[in-house]
Structure 1
Amino acid sequence: MAHDHHHHGQHQSGSNIKVAFFLNLGFTILEIIGGIWINSVAILSDALHDLGDSLSLGLAWYFENVAKRGRDHKYTFGYKRFALLGAVINSVVLLVGSFIILSEAVPRIWNPQEVHVPGMIAFAILGVIVNGAAVLRLKGGSSLNERVVRLHLMEDVLGWVAVLVGGIILYFFDLPWIDPLLSVVITLYVLYNVVRNLRETMNILLQGSPSHIKPEAVEAKLQEMEEINSVHDLHIWTLDGAYNVLTVHAVATSALPLPQAEELKKRVRSEMAAMDIQHVTIELESPGEECSHEGSL
C-alpha cells in the first residue's frame, strides 16, 4: 500500500510540473509579445527570466518521468535519484538568474528608468494570476524537485506583486526607485531559499542522514527490543528526499531459530516504517560472532 501511495505521489508530481511548464511557457511567449508592444525593457528582461524558468520546468518534468522507472540491472535502486538532477540544475539556474536580476536592479535604484505604468500594472495583474495558478498546482508537492520548481514560480509571483505595487505607487507618486528596490528584496529572499534547498540536495547526493531521522534514535529504538543486545554498522540515507534506506547489523541476545529471526525482522521493519524508513536491510548476528564489516567504515 505504501508503495502504491508513493507511486501515485510521483505520478501527481510529474503531472503538476507538466501543467506548470505549459502555463509558464505560454505566459513567457505572451510576455515577449507584450514587452515589445509596450516597449518595456523590464518586461522583456522578465520574459528572459521566465524563459529560463520554462527550460528548468521542462527539465524537472523530464527528470520526474525518468525517476518513475522501475529498478533494473544498471540502477538496482531504481531511478528515483534522477529527480535530484532536475533540482540541482533548477537551483543553479535560479542562482544565476538571481544574480543577473540583482546586477540589473541595484544600479537602477540610483539610476531609475521610465516605464509605461498602465502597461506595467496590466501585465503585473496577469503575471500574478498565471504564475499564482502554477504555484497552487504545485502546493503540497512532496518531492524536492517540486519544491525547487515551486520556488521558481513563487519568485515570479512575488516579482509580479512587486511590479504591481511599484506600478500603483508610480501611478500616484514620482518614485521610480521603488520598483528596483522591491526586486532586490524579493531576489535576496529567493536566494536564501535556493541556498537552503541546494544544501538539502547536496546532503542527499553525499548520502547524509535525512535531517528528521536521527541515527541515535534509530539505534535506541532497535535496542529496546528484548531480542537485540546491540547494533553496529548502522547507515541511514535517502534516495530522493522521500524514500529512506537503512542498513544495520544487530547482535541477538541469543541464537535465534529461523522463524523467530524472521518475526524479529518483520517487527524491525514495522518500527522503522513508523520512523519514515521505507527500505530496511538487517543482518542478525549471534552473540560472539565476529563481524567482518565492523570497524571497516
Structure 2
Amino acid sequence: MANNQHNHTPDPQKNIAVAFALNASFTIIEIIGGILTNSVAILSDAVHDLGDTFSLGLAWYTERIARRKPDSRYTYGYKRFPVLAALVNAVFLLGASIFVLSRAIPLILNPEPVHAEGMIWLAILGIIFNGAAVLKLNKGDSINQKVVRLHLLEDTLGWAAVLIGAVVIRFTGLLWLDPLMGVMIALFIIYNALKNLREALRI
C-alpha cells in the first residue's frame, strides 16, 4: 500500500523535465518562426520563452542538487543554488530584452511588413505548448514548480495577446502593432527580471 501511494506522488523533477522539453522544443520553433514572419512580437516572446526554458532547466537541476546533503565542499548544503540560478536568469533576460527594445522601438515609427497568418499559427501553437506545460506542473506543489508554473501561465496569456494582435494586423494592416507588442512584452520581461533580481539579492 505504501509503495502504491509512493508511485502516485508527483515527482517535481519529472514534471519540470517534461515542461522543459515542451518549452525548449517550442522556443526553437518560435525563434525560426519569428525570423520567417519578421515579427518583433514573436521574437520578444521567443526571448521570454528562452528565459523560461533556462529557468526550467535550472529549476530541474536545482531541484536535484538541493536534495543533496552538506559535504566538505558545501558545508551548508546545496539549497542556495536556486538563488544563483535566479540571478543568472535575471541578468540574461535583462540583456536580451534591452536588445529587443533596441530593435522594436524604431519599428513603431517605421514598421516593416509581417506575415500575419504565420503569427496567428505561431500564437495558437504557443498557447497549446505553454498550456500543456502549465497543466503538467499543476500536478505538483514544490516551490520550484509553483514559480515556473506562474511564468508559463504568463507566457500563455502573452501568446493570447499576440494572437489578438496578429488577427487585428491581418484584417486592418496596422503594422505598428507588431513592434508595439514587442516593446510591451520586453518591458514586462524587464520588470519581472528586475523584481526577481532584487528578491534573489536579498536572500
1:250 alignment partner in structure 2: none
1:143 alignment partner in structure 2: 143
1:89 alignment partner in structure 2: 88
Q: CA deviation at 1:98?
A: 1.8
The worse-fitting range, judged by mean Cα deviation, of 112-121 and 128-137 is 128-137
- 2:58 is aligned with 1:59: yes
Q: Over the residues paired in the alignment, what is the CA RMSD in angstroms?
A: 3.0
Asked if structure 2 preserves the Cα contact closer than 8 Å seen for 1:95 and 1:191, the reply is yes
Q: Give the structure with higher Rg (CA).
A: 1
* Structure with the larger helix share: 2
Asked if structure 1 preserves the Cα contact closer than 8 Å seen for 2:68 and 2:77, the reply is yes
Q: What percent identity do the matched residue pairs reach?
A: 53
* Structure with the larger strand share: 1
Q: CA deviation at 1:68?
A: 1.4
Q: Which runs of 5+ in 2 are unaligned?
A: 1-8
Quickly say closer, same or farther: Cα 1:51–1:194, change in 2 above 3 A: closer
For normalisation by structure 2, the TM-score amounts to 0.77
Alignment of 1:193-272 (within 5 A): 193-204=192-203
Distance 1:153 1:90 in 2: 15
1:209 alignment partner in structure 2: none
Asked if structure 1 preserves the Cα contact closer than 8 Å seen for 2:137 and 2:146, the reply is yes
Which structure's relative contact order is higher, taking Cα pairs within 8 Å and 6+ residues apart? 2
Quickly say closer, same or farther: Cα 1:57–1:143, change in 2 above 3 A: same
Distance 1:91 1:16 in 2: 23
Distance 2:18 2:55 in 1: 13
Quickly say closer, same or farther: Cα 1:134–1:18, change in 2 above 3 A: same
- 2:73 is aligned with 1:74: yes
Q: Which amino acid aligns with 1:171?
A: R
Q: CA deviation at 1:109?
A: 0.9
Distance 1:137 1:128 in 2: 14
Distance 1:111 1:61 in 2: 42
Quickly say closer, same or farther: Cα 1:33–1:201, change in 2 above 3 A: closer
Quickly say closer, same or farther: Cα 1:199–1:141, change in 2 above 3 A: farther
Helix, strand or coil at the partner of 2:39: helix
Asked if structure 1 preserves the Cα contact closer than 8 Å seen for 2:58 and 2:82, the reply is no
Asked if structure 1 preserves the Cα contact closer than 8 Å seen for 2:165 and 2:177, the reply is yes
Q: Which runs of 5+ in 1 are unaligned?
A: 1-8, 205-297
Aligned residues: 192
Quickly say closer, same or farther: Cα 1:141–1:191, change in 2 above 3 A: farther
Q: Which amino acid aligns with 1:124?
A: A
1:218 alignment partner in structure 2: none
